[in-house]
Amino acid sequence: MTEQPPPPFEPLGEDWETALAVVAHPDDMEYGAAAAVARWTSQGKRIGYVMVTSGEAGIDSLEPEKCRPIREAEQIASAALVGVDDVEFLGHPDGVLEYGLPLRRDIARAVRKYRPDIVITTNFRETYGGIFPNQADHIATGRATLDAVRDAANRWVFRELTAEGHQPWGGVREVWAAGSPEARHAVDITDHFDSGVASLKAHKAYLEGLGGQMADAQDFLESMGRMAGSRLGVRYASSFEVISLRW
């Protein structure tokens, strides 16, 4: 039997003004979604980044205490290259994140503070395309983000947030998971692809420590962008799983 090609992607909606990206580590947004952010900030949209960890366990040759400030500085510089000035680090431990109430509460606080229309995270499914196993921090963060968005809207969940002055926010329309194997939507990043590459290259110390195929920012992002682009009918695209929060 002839294998059927995957179905075409549907274009992402862009009738929104603010988004908040919540990911596990510095560099997570840059592996495929930063060019999309560059597109949206060029349209005048406001986007903030929340890093659950500081990626301090991500460079084998550096102890976490020395690695943390380097990775935070690289993420701030990386975000600025795609028009993002708001970058927050929640300080959870890298590599050993656990899904649970503390993580949900901290993300819900960020959502209430930022009050976005769209929340962006990364793939929280068990694998990438049924082939490569996902990383545990990604899974915990994505699942906690999905639940925290609903927590942020409920004044009777995490009442301490209201006591802190963070009023409930039920304005999130959708959660978008970048790079998910369940993606059915994508956005054209052709005109902003180079900004996405530059944003990943800004993680210089991390890429040097990483090595291998994923350390080659240009080639890796070209490969991923072309695959998604072929399903959207453009040169380069970023793909997203869209989870609607409204009936």
DSSP strand pairing (86-89 vs 46-51): parallel
CB-neighbour burial class of residue 63 (10 A; exposed 0-12, middle 13-18, buried 19+): exposed
Q: In which band, very low, low, confident or very high, does the pLDDT at 2 lie, cut at 50, 70 and 90?
A: low
Whether residue 165 is predicted with pLDDT greater than 60 in this model: the reply is yes
Structure tokens at 92: 């959870």
Average pLDDT, rounded, for the chain: 96
116 Rama sector, left if φ>0, alpha if ψ -120 to 50, beta otherwise: beta
Q: Which helix (H) or strand (E) holds 199?
A: helix 193-201
Whether residue 135 is predicted with pLDDT greater than 90 in this model: the reply is yes
21-28 average pLDDT score: 98
Whether residue 247 is predicted with pLDDT greater than 70 in this model: the reply is no
22-47 average pLDDT score: 97
Residue 128: its pLDDT value, please?
86
Q: State in Å, rounded, how far the first CA of the chain is from the last one.
A: 39
Structure tokens at 213: 């195929």
Distance CA 188, CA 236 (A): 6
Q: In which band, very low, low, confident or very high, does the pLDDT at 246 lie, cut at 50, 70 and 90?
A: confident
Q: In which band, very low, low, confident or very high, does the pLDDT at 168 lie, cut at 50, 70 and 90?
A: very high
Distance CA 37, CA 183 (A): 17
Angle between helices 34-42 and 193-201 (to 10 degrees): 120
155-180 average pLDDT score: 97
Domains of the chain plus CATH, in order, are 14-244 (3.40.50.10320)
Distance CA 39, CA 236 (A): 12
Q: In which band, very low, low, confident or very high, does the pLDDT at 131 lie, cut at 50, 70 and 90?
A: confident
Residue 124: its pLDDT value, please?
95
What are 74-84's pLDDT values in tens digits?
999 999 999 99
Distance CA 75, CA 203 (A): 7
Closest CA relative to residue 109, chosen from 46, 47, 50: 50
53-81 average pLDDT score: 97
Whether residue 49 is predicted with pLDDT greater than 60 in this model: the reply is yes
Structure tokens at 210: 């990483």
96-108 average pLDDT score: 97
Whether residue 226 is predicted with pLDDT greater than 70 in this model: the reply is yes
Are the CB atoms for 134 and 180 separated by under 8 Å? Answer: no
Q: Which of the pair, 131 or 161, is modelled with greater confidence?
A: 161
Q: Which helix (H) or strand (E) holds 34?
A: helix 34-42
Residue 130: its pLDDT value, please?
74
Residue for token pair 């927590």 = 151
Whether residue 1 is predicted with pLDDT greater than 60 in this model: the reply is no
Q: In which band, very low, low, confident or very high, does the pLDDT at 218 lie, cut at 50, 70 and 90?
A: very high
Among the residue ranges 18-27, 151-160, 202-211, 225-234, the one predicted with the least confidence is: 202-211
Residues 6+ apart with CB under 8 A from 67: 55, 56, 57, 58, 59
Distance CA 106, CA 96 (A): 16
Q: In which band, very low, low, confident or very high, does the pLDDT at 167 lie, cut at 50, 70 and 90?
A: very high
Separation of CA 60 from chain center: 23
